[in-house]
Amino acid sequence: MRSSIILAGGKSTRFKGNKALALFKNKSLIEHSVNVASKISDEIVIVLSDKQQYQLYKKFLPKTVQVAYDEQKEKGPLVGLLTGLKIIKNEYTFVLPIDAPLINPKVMDYLYKKAQNFDAAIPHWPNCYLETLCAVYRVSSMFRASEQALKNGKLKINDAVRLLIKINKISTEELKKFDPKLLSFSNINRIEDLEKLKKLNNNFNFIK
């Protein structure tokens, strides 16, 4: 059994519109996130900001997807993650954002395997930047770390990650054997990012 948490409660301020409903390859970004999570997970929790947001997204969500709402409004992704962690029943969970439509299921599968016996398996770049929103976490460990970070007044997922004891940092170079262009980590923050990713998709036929 495997789990995924999709964080979809953001306001998309930089995108200047509803990012989750933006189209890429004829599907909304929220559909891409659900589809890729479904390929590697038996249990999927999507965290939204409120029921009004759910009304916008519900037609894209299969009945098997569990919906949760941020317990604190507009406090960032760490609150959303903690909300999702409270629902997950399995030992480990993949965490993914709503704005990375080219996450490779093989990357997800590999990270899941590499997380075993660790508190987390997190991709890291040569400059040491961690992809904390495309990672696998031990639910119990990350739950405690997230609670503690929030108690300390910290709101970023990185703040919780710093409290984890045993992290398996997976080099992005290692992940190129599954995702040669590392498009799994292509986040869409602005409309310009979406247009750039569309051009990449046209240039690389191997993208599924």
Does the structure show a pLDDT above 70 at 93? yes
pLDDT of residue 146: 97
Where b means 16+ CB within 10 Å and e means fewer, 42-54 reads: ebbbbbbbeeebe
Tell me phi and psi for residue 128, to 5 degrees. Answer: 80, 5
The helix/strand/coil state of 69 is strand
Q: How confident is the model at residue 18 (pLDDT cuts 50, 70, 90)?
A: confident
- Compute the average pLDDT of residues 177-189: 92
pLDDT tens figures, 147-156:
999 999 999 9
Question: In angstroms, how far is CA 197 from the centroid of its own chain?
Answer: 18
- Do 2 and 45 touch, CB atoms closer than 8 A? no
Can you give the CATH number for the domain in which 81 is found? 3.90.550.10
Structure tokens at 113: 């395997």
| pLDDT value at 199 more than 70 | yes
Q: What letter does residue 15 receive in the DSSP assignment?
A: T
**Per-residue tokens: 13:** 């301020």
pLDDT at residue 98 in the model: 92
Q: Specify the pLDDT at position 205.
A: 39
- Over 90: is that where the pLDDT of 157 sits? yes
Q: pLDDT-derived band of residue 76, with 50, 70 and 90 as boundaries?
A: confident
Region 102-126: what's the mean pLDDT? 97
CA gap 92, 141 in Å, rounded: 10
Predicted local distance difference test score (pLDDT) of residue 159:
96
Contact 161, 167 (CB under 8 A): yes
User: Is the pLDDT score of 208 beyond 80?
Assistant: no
* 115, 168 contact by CB (below 8 A): yes
Domain count, the chain: 1
Mean pLDDT, the chain, whole residue set: 90
pLDDT-derived band at 207 (thresholds 50, 70, 90) equals very low
pLDDT over 90, % of the chain: 74
CA–CA gap between residue 74 and residue 34 (Å, rounded): 23
* 98 found inside a domain: yes
The pLDDT of residue 203 is 47
Least confident piece of the model among 1-15, 124-138, 173-187: 1-15
For the residues of 117-158, what is the DSSP string, one character each? TSSEEEEE-TT--B-TTSEEEEHHHHHHHHHHHHHTT--SHH
Whether residue 208 lies inside any domain: the answer is: no
Q: What domain range includes position 78?
A: 3-203
